[in-house]
């Protein structure tokens, strides 16, 4: 059954990364090259710029995707700011290199060097008031007559390696900024959010997700996990946070005790009579007063709530015209992350 949670989407960060890499590759290949560089090498430079741009974006964005599971936004913000600053510096540096390494000759830009040959030095000493362009004209535009081949080669390498670098850095900055944006928070008047639950001896998580394995229940659980962790919450879920060599029921009890809240993904399958472990553990750890403070039913299918959930309003995800997005309401109920 489709619910408002279906729009969350778990794959958009991966799609963002793939799109960023593709855009960087295409834009690097199409970016205008400095006019002073030999046009006979333009295809080689375009291929280099395309591969290098894609590699830079992939090397920056993919690690951010891996860290997204921890809910850390500061890394993405830092990456966005750093990439933007580096992009501006590289852009200015590239423009400076092109000014130093380019002269106009016969109506076109030509690549020059930064070190004069013996002839160039002699001309400069003998004609201190004359621009070096005069000697270039006298040498019929043969630049290595005036500048050393080594310095011309360094200028060519510097221009080839920097003219496109600002582009992948800008894309990294934009992608990182998007990854740093959390889901919207529900605006709640001051004092209307529920009071925080009594803290157990050790609190490790903001919430523990209890759900029935398989089917839409598991998919919704993972959507909730991704949405909360993207907002900076620490969330426990069995398939990732239960110790592999421990009892399933003991691990469930531990996570409920170590979480400020327990989110129950409620469906017909969750409440089946043959699947009562959640009810037993929740009732063991949380008495009725604790359940009212720390248990949040997230109802994804229209069902009659059993006695152990009686009196809890919960969050109904089955309404197609809900006034408030269920995830926003969930975050408002949880309050600020620990």
Q: What's the pLDDT tens digit per position in 192-230?
A: 444 444 444 588 999 999 888 888 889 999 999 999 999
Residue 277: is its pLDDT beyond 70? no
Q: Are residues 74 and 12 in the same domain?
A: yes
Q: Are residues 174 and 211 in the same domain?
A: no
Q: Are residues 320 and 213 in the same domain?
A: yes
The rounded distance, in Å, linking the Cα atoms of 212 and 23 is 40
Task: Write down the pLDDT at residue 272.
Answer: 77
Domain presence at residue 322: yes
Domain presence at residue 125: no
CA distances from 187 to 184, 296, 332 (A): 9, 19, 8
Q: Are residues 223 and 80 in the same domain?
A: no
The rounded distance, in Å, linking the Cα atoms of 268 and 299 is 10
CA distances from 70 to 216, 229, 240 (A): 24, 6, 12
Q: Are residues 158 and 263 in the same domain?
A: no
Domain presence at residue 230: yes
Q: Are residues 82 and 31 in the same domain?
A: yes
Q: What's the pLDDT tens digit per position in 151-190?
A: 989 998 998 888 899 999 999 989 888 887 765 444 445 5
Domain end: 180, 196, 228, which one? 180
Q: Are residues 29 and 93 in the same domain?
A: yes
The torsion angles phi and psi of 204, rounded to 5 degrees, stand at: -110, -25
Give the least confident one: 192-196, 230-234, 247-251.
Answer: 192-196
Q: Are residues 221 and 163 in the same domain?
A: no
Q: Are residues 219 and 107 in the same domain?
A: no
Task: Write down the pLDDT at residue 260.
Answer: 92
Residue 96: is its pLDDT beyond 50? yes
pLDDT band at 235 (very low <50, low <70, confident <90, very high): very high
The CATH number of residue 229's host domain is 3.40.50.10140
Domain presence at residue 88: yes
Residue closest to 265 by CA, chosen among 303, 311, 322, 230: 303
Percentage of the chain beyond pLDDT 70 is: 86
Domain presence at residue 185: no
228/125: higher pLDDT: 228
Token couple for 199: 């803290």
Mean pLDDT of 73-88: 86
Q: Are residues 102 and 222 in the same domain?
A: no
Residue 308: is its pLDDT beyond 90? no
**Residue pair 264/283 in contact by the 8 Å Cβ criterion:** no
Can you list the alpha helix ranges (DSSP code H) found in the chain? 12-30, 42-68, 74-100, 118-126, 132-138, 143-146, 149-162, 166-180, 215-230, 238-241, 248-257, 277-285, 288-294, 326-334
**Number of domains present in the structure of the chain:** 2
Q: What's the pLDDT tens digit per position in 134-161?
A: 777 877 888 888 889 999 899 989 988 8
Residue 89: is its pLDDT beyond 90? yes
Token couple for 22: 């593709």
- Those residues whose C-beta lies under 8 Å from the C-beta of residue 285, and which sit 6 or more positions away, are 253, 256, 257
Mean pLDDT of 52-69: 82
Q: Are residues 171 and 216 in the same domain?
A: no
Task: Write down the pLDDT at residue 206.
Answer: 94
Domain presence at residue 123: no
Residue closest to 312 by CA, chosen among 286, 276, 275: 286
Q: Are residues 108 and 14 in the same domain?
A: yes
Average pLDDT, the chain: 82
111/275: higher pLDDT: 111
Domain presence at residue 252: yes
Q: Domain span at residue 10?
A: 4-113+148-180
Domain presence at residue 122: no
């Amino acid at each position: 059954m489709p619910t408002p949670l279906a729009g969350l989407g778990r794959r958009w960060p991966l799609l963002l990364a793939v799109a960023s890499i593709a855009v960087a590759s295409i834009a690097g290949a199409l970016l205008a090259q400095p006019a002073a560089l030999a046009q006979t090498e333009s295809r080689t430079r375009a291929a280099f710029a395309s591969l290098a741009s894609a590699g830079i974006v992939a090397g920056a964005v993919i690690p951010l995707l891996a860290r997204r599971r921890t809910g850390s936004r500061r890394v993405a913000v830092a990456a966005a700011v750093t990439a933007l600053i580096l992009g501006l510096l590289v852009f200015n540096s590239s423009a400076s290199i092109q000014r130093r390494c380019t002269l106009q000759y016969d109506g076109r830009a030509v690549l020059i060097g930064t070190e004069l040959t013996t002839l160039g030095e002699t001309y400069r000493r003998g004609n201190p008031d004359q621009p070096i362009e005069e000697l270039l004209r006298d040498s019929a535009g043969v630049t290595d007559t005036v500048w050393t081949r080594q310095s011309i080669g360094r200028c060519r390498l510097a221009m080839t390696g920097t003219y496109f670098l600002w582009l992948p850095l800008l894309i990294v900055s934009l992608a990182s900024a998007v990854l740093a944006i959390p889901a919207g928070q529900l605006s709640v008047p001051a004092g209307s959010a529920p009071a925080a639950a009594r803290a157990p001896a050790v609190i490790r998580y903001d919430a523990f997700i209890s759900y029935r394995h398989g089917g839409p229940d598991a998919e919704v659980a993972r959507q909730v996990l991704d949405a909360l962790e993207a907002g900076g919450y620490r969330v426990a879920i069995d398939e990732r946070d239960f110790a592999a060599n421990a009892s399933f029921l003991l691990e469930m009890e531990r996570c409920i005790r170590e979480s400020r809240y327990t989110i129950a993904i409620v469906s017909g399958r969750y409440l089946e009579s043959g699947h009562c472990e959640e009810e037993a553990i929740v009732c063991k750890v949380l008495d009725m007063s604790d359940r009212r403070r720390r248990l949040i039913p997230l109802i994804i299918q229209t069902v009659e709530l059993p006695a152990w959930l009686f009196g809890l309003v919960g969050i109904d995800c089955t309404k197609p015209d809900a006034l408030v997005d269920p995830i926003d309401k969930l975050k408002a109920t949880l309050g600020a992350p620990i």
